[in-house]
Amino acid sequence: MVKLNSEYKCFGGKLGFYSHFSSNCNGEMRFAVYQPPQATQKPVPVLYFLSGLACTEENFMVKAGAQQYAAKYGLILVTPDTSPRNTGIFSEDDDWDFGSGAGFYVDATEELWASHYRMYSYVVQELPALIANNFPVQSDRQGIFGHSMGGHGALVCALRNPEQYKSVSAFAPIAAPIHCPWGQKAFSGYLGSDRESWRAYDASELVKQVGYHSPILIDQGTADQFLAQQQLLPDVFEKACTAVDQPLILRYQEGYDHSYYFISTFIEDHIRHHATELQIL
């Protein structure tokens, strides 16, 4: 059962914030949905956005300025929260980059986390089924994109489920998590010490194994502090794409950082990219 917590008119459509009980995450999960005005007349394509570390379902909807372009192109936007919350796991809130707000879009296998932290299955299976049952979406026309940790999640979800996701893009994704401190910390905690199992959630490994059926768009700011700290590693993903002739549009945006100021500057380009691949344009 979906609970509507709040709703607002926005660019001729409506933005709602919702909660429900998740069987995958074994507790309450929250998400937001923007329905463009076109959705009152007929089902429309749906675009999922996965947010980054320490974010909730609200950040993208409040800061990205995406609703006007979703209304322009006729797309439903869906943003889930970034992790389960209030699970009772004693260390859940100890670190900003692990646990609450930092689900990393994996299905945890380590005992402490496995009963709640199943964000991969939640995003790929449970949430789309919930959206299809409650909102006027064309389920055969889904795209996915994200930022930072969510960019990692979007790439992994699309690469592993190319028939489900017709389009993918990312802002400053954690593109090779098995090689960066954020990814190593998260994967060790959620997946354990067997690094071979980590490959299933690393876009730079996956693209070499399975590829993707259409061009991947990535924007990366050159003044991003996490680029300098070797947390994002877009060059590793670029090399992996080159090795298998995967079409990649990797744009380095001069002077932009990791913030939503960066995202809001290029958000229309990304929504247009998805509209093209979803055959809206």
- The pLDDT tens digits for 151-176 are 999 999 999 999 999 999 999 999 99
203, 197, 192, 109: which is closest to 161 by C-alpha? 203
Query: Known catalytic residues?
Result: 148, 224, 258
270 contacts: CB under 8 Å, gap ≥ 6:
145, 169, 171, 217, 219
What is the tens place of the pLDDT at every residue in 219-248?
999 999 999 999 999 999 999 999 999 999
Q: What is the model's pTM?
A: 0.98
User: What is the C-alpha to C-alpha distance for residues 231 and 225, in angstroms, rounded to an integer?
Assistant: 9
pLDDT of res. 66:
98
Q: Residue 85's Cα: distance from chain center in Å?
A: 18
Which portions of the chain are predicted below pLDDT 50?
none
pLDDT of res. 280:
86
